[in-house]
């Protein structure tokens, strides 16, 4: 599967509810950001299209994390600028044992802008 088709599938899955999921630490409220598997010296923020997919990863080193919803509107308003400054890229529907689809933040954000409802 190509990154474009993974992105397209992700967008279709979140279009109606305008929400996707990341993992957040229960106590510190920090978000999961980790080293990219595809790019050196780059951090990636894994995102999932469903709460169930995100919840599967709340084990082992991420056992203290819970799925946290992020609305498309909040992403546009609060997230993009900070992540751009930090040079963070996006991991879509992250699977630890499978290929990891990573893409640049502007590409992901542009796809979200096309489905954002006001």
Q: Is residue 118 a part of any domain in this protein?
A: no
CATH number at residue 68: 3.40.1350.90
| Bigger pLDDT: 100 vs 98 | 100
Residue 53 sits in which domain range? 3-113
Q: Is residue 85 a part of any domain in this protein?
A: yes
The two most distant CA atoms of the chain are separated, in Å, by: 38
d(CA 69, CA 26): 13
Place of tokens 């900070």: 82
| Bigger pLDDT: 78 vs 95 | 78
**What pLDDT sits at residue 91?**
94
Total domains, the chain: 1
H and E: helices and strands count for the chain: 5, 6
**What pLDDT sits at residue 4?**
72
Q: Is residue 87 a part of any domain in this protein?
A: yes
Nearest residue to 3 via CA among 50, 51, 39, 31: 39
**What pLDDT sits at residue 118?**
53
pLDDT digits over 44-89, tens only? 999 999 999 999 999 999 999 999 999 999 999 999 999 999 999 9
Whole-prediction pTM: 0.91
User: What residues are paired with 92 via a beta bridge?
Assistant: 47, 101
**What pLDDT sits at residue 3?**
66
């Amino acid at each position: 599967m190509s990154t474009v088709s993974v992105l397209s599938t992700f967008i279709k899955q979140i279009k109606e509810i305008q929400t996707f999921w990341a993992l957040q630490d229960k106590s510190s409220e920090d978000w999961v950001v980790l080293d990219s598997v595809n790019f050196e010296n780059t951090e990636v923020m894994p995102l999932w299209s469903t709460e169930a997919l995100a919840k599967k990863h709340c084990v082992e080193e991420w056992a203290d994390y819970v799925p946290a919803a992020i609305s498309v509107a909040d992403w546009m308003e609060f997230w993009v600028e900070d992540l751009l400054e930090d040079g963070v890229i996006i991991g879509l529907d992250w699977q630890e044992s499978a290929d990891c689809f990573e893409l640049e933040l502007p590409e992901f954000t542009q796809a979200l802008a096309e489905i954002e409802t006001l």
